[in-house]
Amino acid sequence: MMERIILHVDVNNAFLSWTAVDMLHKGNKVDIRNRYAVIGGDEATRHGIVLAKSMPAKKCGVVTAETIFSARRKCPYLDVYPPQFKVYKKYSDRMYTYLCNYSNKIERYSIDECFIDYTDSYKKYGNPVKLAYKIKNDIRDNFGFTVNVGVGNNKLLAKMASDFSKPDKVHTLFSNEIKNKMWPR
């Protein structure tokens, strides 16, 4: 009996990435992922928090879940974009449909994360790490946003692996790797 293999696919900075991709598809010339930008609340009504931030905004100290007011104090040139849940659902559904090519055992963990039970698919598609790289690269090249893919023997290990370093990475955390990969952390 083959040991269980789980892949965890996690979109990098989903709300901001999906907003950026959607804006680019609509003709915007600037990729907001490379600007001081956040997805967040309504400044006019002085409500809301940062739901997602670009890397330049992160370098200014902007963090997820802080108020827009606080984020703007850290980053005065911040561009704030409203959440667009229909856009997020569209890109999430596209990713999910693509992932269904590799297993019929997929669990949506959230709008931007899926677990794939790859155990039964191994015979058809082969090495799970090679497939993880294919998934990562296909999503980047065909959909315009990046993901991390974690590979492990269960959901916990796969999810932990996908969080090791970001963005656009593949990591493994199999049971026999815990001592070497987790203990130093």
Q: Which of 43, 107, 113, 177 is catalytic?
A: 113
Q: How far, in Å, CA of 185 to CA of 183, rounded?
A: 5
Which positions ≥6 away from 32 have C-beta within 8 Å?
16, 19, 20, 23, 54, 79, 81
The residue count of the chain comes to 185
DSSP 65: T
Query: Is residue 3 among the annotated active site residues?
Result: no
- Phi, psi (deg, nearest 5) at residue 47: -125, 155
Q: How far, in Å, CA of 99 to CA of 47, rounded?
A: 36
- Phi, psi (deg, nearest 5) at residue 67: -70, 155
* Residues with active-site annotation: 113
